[in-house]
Chain A
Amino acid sequence: QSVLTQPPSASGTPGQRVTVSCSGSSSNIGPNTVNWYQQLPGTAPKLLIYNNNQRPSGVPDRFSGSKSGTSASLAISGLQSEDEADYYCAAWDDSLKGWVFGGGTKLTAL
């Protein structure tokens, strides 16, 4: 019942390109920027993408983000086994006047 909708799981083989989608609405993703986080088991979330498509220093350029209308996507090219993690999108919601997260996508490298 998250405000932002993500697929619960995604997978790919090493070297493959994988995408994770995040669907929102005209009160969150539509007017605001999207952040993406990576969470490894037992650790705090790590910022991967901010402002829809910007990478913080130290994040490999294999990770990229995009936004169109009320949806956003995270793409991981050249999938590596170390990319196995949970991925979350987040955005400010103007109606709720708060931050909202997606339900998370568990990425598996087959």
Chain B
Amino acid sequence: QVQVVQSGAEVKKPGASMKVSCKASGYTFTDYHLHWVRQAPGQGLEWMGRIHPNSGATNYAQNFQGRVTMTRDTSINTAYMELSRLRSADTAVYYCASWGGSRSYWGQGTLVTVSS
């Protein structure tokens, strides 16, 4: 069965960087985009961008341009999302997900807390 497993919770200081990993199994990792979506406490879903694991091509949401980098390692079916220059407003649960048509596979979410 499909599994999408993310790395664990992190606490970061303002100005620091974070890097979350997302390991997929049970489907062909290189066939589908891998998206990153975040959700601040009590807030809605916000799309951050996507990477196509086969080519490495990325699309980033305008709100994160210049601060976000999405990469992948196809040898271990794992995607990464790095966000730099963190501020308190970046405190959120970060999800990775693969979707298309009836397919929709989400990780369990990674809570990142930015606090001094």
Contacts and interface: CB of A to CB of B under 8 A. Distances in A.
A binds B: yes
Interface of A: 2, 35, 37, 39, 44-47, 50-51, 54, 56-57, 86, 88, 90, 96-104
Contacts of B45: 37, 39, 45, 88, 90, 101, 104
Nearest to A3: B47
Contact of A98 (B59, B97, B102): B59
Interface residues of B, number: 22
A103 B107 contact: no
Nearest to A100: B47
A35 B47 CA distance: 14
A47 B35 contact: no
A51 B101 contact: yes
B23 to A, nearest CB: 15
Does more than half of chain A's interface fall in helix, strand or loop, or is it mixed?
strand
Given A44-B106, A51-B101, A101 B46 contact: yes
A57 to B, nearest CB: 7
A44 B109 CA distance: 7
Contact of B102 (A57, A88, A97, A104): A57
A98 B99 contact: no
Contact of B44 (A44, A88, A98): A88
A2 B99 CA distance: 21
Nearest to B47: A99
Interface of B: 35, 37, 44-47, 49-50, 59-62, 95, 97, 99, 101-102, 104, 106-109
Does more than half of chain B's interface fall in helix, strand or loop, or is it mixed?
strand
A96 B62 contact: yes
A10 B107 CA distance: 28
Residue among A35, A47, A98, A100 with the most chain B CB within 10 A? A98
A104 B104 contact: no
A60 B49 CA distance: 30
B102 to A, nearest CB: 4
Given A44-B108, A50-B101, A57-B102, A99 B44 contact: no
Nearest to A35: B99
A53 to B, nearest CB: 12
